[in-house]
Structure 1
Amino acid sequence: MQKLTLFIKDSWSEMRYKVTWPTYSKLQNSSILVLVASLIFAILIGIIDLAFENAMEWFYNAF
């Protein structure tokens, strides 16, 4: 039990004094970057899915 308590205290101390937290503007910029990248990736996957669906439909209708 003593090891667990020490671990929690050390973790709390490290999170409070050793971790560098981003400023609000950096956090906003990073969030916008992730949002845009996610949207681009989703559109790309949607286009690939649409192309694959059309290719499979053509293939099944051909036979």
Structure 2
Amino acid sequence: MANITEYISESFNELKNNVSWPSYAEGQKLMVIVAVFSILFSLAIWGVDEVFSGVIKQYFNWVKS
């Protein structure tokens, strides 16, 4: 149990003293960029999924007839 407590304490100290955090404004700007790219990427994946779904349906309709 002492190892877990020591690990958490050292991790907290590392985050507090050695990590350079962005400013609040920069964090907001980066969050918007991540959100926009996440939405665009999910729309691209949805589009590819729809295309492949249509291709597979056409293939099975072709095989069935």
TM bracket (short chain)? 0.7 to 0.9
Map 1:1-63 → 2, pairs under 5 A? 6-63=6-63
User: Where in structure 1 are there 5+ consecutive unaligned residues?
Assistant: none
Give, as a single letter, the amino acid of the residue that structure 2 aligns with 1:29.
Answer: K
**TM-score, structure 2 length as denominator?**
0.76
- Partners of 2:2 and 2:53 lie apart in 1 by 59
Give, as a single letter, the amino acid of the residue that structure 2 aligns with 1:22.
Answer: P
User: Where in structure 2 are there 5+ consecutive unaligned residues?
Assistant: none
The size of the alignment, in residue pairs, is: 63
What is the RMSD of the two structures over their aligned residues, measured on CA atoms? 1.8
